[in-house]
């Protein structure tokens, strides 16, 4: 892609690549009329998955939701689809890569932020289905403000005013390291699964690792049997309840997420309150 001349939508100029994933590439761009910096996500039109148009629709439906970047434009040319959204900063994964572990105070602050975002999107009738550190980005202007991105796997859990039914899928959906145990059994996801993924994030940030995470060397090895890996990770997650290094406040949240019924509305506010009260107690001591 020729970044010097590439103008999309008659006003967005692509500057440089800032990220790449399975389903597309993300660039930093600029609005040539206002000089506002933006993020531009691209997807090849010939790509069989066609997730970007769907994702742009989700962003539009979540417009004005706190913690969700604003979509500015969606369109295409002869080769690509393009989605333009707010430009954000580093991901929480970048933060943990730099620091190794985070203090309980910082972990709980992140927990309050993410729980609030999940409450907001769930209130709008959507589940994310791929909650992981890479999908939470820091605001460039306010380093304490978090945004959730990447809604390609998101879906409504309320259809025609009814909660979706629990079913068994024929494939794994999400990211194995942070997916709920129910995902490993291929069950349909609901609000509880987003919360369980958050619990794994909080554990990961506090401990600096998860027992089922592989090293870079192991990741490079060819996986001979995905079913074996799925079962291995699932069993490791089932055993996490015995990990005495996890702070009680995080373990209690994990147990709560695991206890939720498929169509149960989580009590987000009680855990936001619990985390905030613990933070206040830590500040007093």
- CATH number of the domain to which 43 belongs: 3.30.200.20
Q: Is the domain of 101 the same as that of 222?
A: yes
| C-alpha distance from residue 280 to each of 202, 239, 273, 283 (Å) | 18, 31, 10, 5
Asked if residue 201 is part of any domain, the answer here is yes
Q: Compute, in degrees rounded to 10, the torsion defined by CA atoms 220, 208, 276, 109.
A: -60
- Report pLDDT for 220: 46
Q: If pLDDT is split at 50, 70 and 90, which confidence band does 136 have? A: very high
Q: What is the pLDDT of residues 10-44, one digit of tens each?
A: 999 999 999 887 678 999 999 999 999 999 999 99
CATH code of the domain covering residue 193? 1.10.510.10
Query: In whole angstroms, what is the distance from residue 190 CA to residue 139 CA?
Result: 28
pTM for the complete prediction?
0.93
- 219 pLDDT band (50/70/90 cuts)? low
CB atoms within 10 A of CB 238: 12
Same domain assignment for residues 132 and 272: yes
113 and 183 inside one domain? yes
| Among 181, 198, 183, CA closest to 250 | 198
Instruction: Look at residue 1 and tell me if it is in a domain.
Output: no
Which of 64, 86, 108 is the endpoint of a domain?
A: 86
* CB-CB contact of 199 with 250 (8 Å): yes
Same domain, 39 and 111: no
Is 18 inside any structural domain?
yes
What is the 8-class DSSP label of residue 143? T
Reported as a single tens digit per residue, the pLDDT across 179-188 is: 999 999 999 9
Alpha-carbon span 81 to 44, nearest angstrom:
6
202 close to 112: Cβ distance less than 8 angstroms: no
The pLDDT tens digits for 254-281 are 999 999 999 999 999 999 999 999 999 9
Residue 45 to residues 21, 85, 158: CA-CA distances in angstroms? Answer: 16, 19, 30
Domain total of the chain: 2
Which pair of structure tokens corresponds to residue 150?
A: 């990447």
Instruction: Output the pLDDT for position 215.
Output: 65
Give 152's strand partners.
Answer: none
Q: Which of 86, 112, 135 is the last residue of a domain?
A: 86
225 and 138 part of one domain: yes
Asked if residue 197 belongs to a domain, the reply is yes
105 C-beta neighbours (distance < 10 Å), count: 12
77 and 108 part of one domain:
no
Encode burial over 246-282: b for 16+ CB neighbours within 10 A, e otherwise: bbebbbebbebbbebebeeebebeebbebbeebbeee
Retrieve residue 89's tokens: 């900063």
**Per-residue model confidence as pLDDT tens digits over 156-179:** 999 999 999 999 988 899 999 999
Same domain, 173 and 141: yes
Domain enclosing residue 43, as ranges: 7-86
Same domain flag for 236 and 146: yes
Asked whether residue 2 is domain-assigned, the answer is no
Same domain? 64 vs 108: no
Candidates 22, 21, 40, 20; CA nearest to 30 is 40
Instruction: Please identify every residue annotated as catalytic.
Output: 130
pLDDT of 92 above 70 = yes
32 falls within a domain = yes
Please check whether residues 37 and 150 belong to one and the same domain. Answer: no
Domain co-membership, 147 together with 30: no
CB atoms within 10 A of CB 10: 9
Pull the structure tokens for residue 12: 């967005």
Find the DSSP H helices in the chain. 51-61, 92-99, 104-123, 181-184, 191-207, 216-220, 226-238, 248-259, 268-284
On whether the CB atoms of residues 27 and 18 are closer than 8 A, the answer is yes
Domain boundary among 86, 119, 149: 86
Residue 227 sits in the same domain as residue 271: yes
Beta bridge partners of 127: 155
Exposure of 164 in the CB half-sphere (CA atoms within 13 A): 16
**pLDDT over 60 at 146, yes or no:** yes
């Amino acid at each position: 892609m020729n970044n010097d001349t590439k103008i999309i939508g008659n006003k967005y100029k692509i500057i440089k690549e800032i990220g790449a994933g399975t389903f597309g590439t993300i660039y930093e761009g600029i609005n040539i009329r206002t000089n506002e910096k933006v993020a531009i996500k691209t997807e090849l039109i010939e790509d069989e998955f066609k997730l970007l148009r769907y994702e742009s629709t989700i962003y539009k439906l979540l417009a004005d939701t706190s913690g969700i970047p604003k979509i500015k434009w969606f369109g295409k040319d002869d080769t690509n689809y393009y989605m333009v959204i707010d430009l954000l900063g580093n991901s929480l994964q970048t933060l943990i890569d730099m620091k190794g572990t985070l203090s309980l105070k910082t972990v709980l602050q992140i927990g309050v932020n993410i729980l609030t975002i999940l409450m907001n999107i769930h209130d709008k009738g959507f589940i994310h289905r791929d909650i992981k550190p890479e999908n939470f980005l820091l605001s460039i202007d306010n380093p304490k403000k978090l945004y959730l991105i990447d809604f390609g796997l998101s879906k409504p859990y309320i259809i025609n005013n009814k909660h979706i039914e629990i079913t068994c899928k024929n494939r794994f959906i999400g990211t194995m390291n942070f997916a709920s145990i129910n995902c490993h059994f291929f069950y349909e996801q609901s609000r509880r699964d987003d919360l369980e993924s958050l619990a794994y994030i909080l554990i990961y940030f506090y401990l600096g690792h998860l027992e089922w995470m592989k090293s870079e060397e192991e990741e490079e090895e060819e996986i001979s049997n995905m079913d074996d890996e799925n079962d291995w990770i699932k069993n490791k997650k089932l055993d996490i309840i015995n990990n005495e290094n996890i702070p009680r406040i995080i373990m209690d949240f994990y147990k709560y997420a695991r206890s939720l019924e498929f169509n149960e509305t989580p009590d987000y506010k009680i855990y936001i309150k619990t985390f905030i009260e613990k933070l206040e107690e830590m500040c007093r001591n």
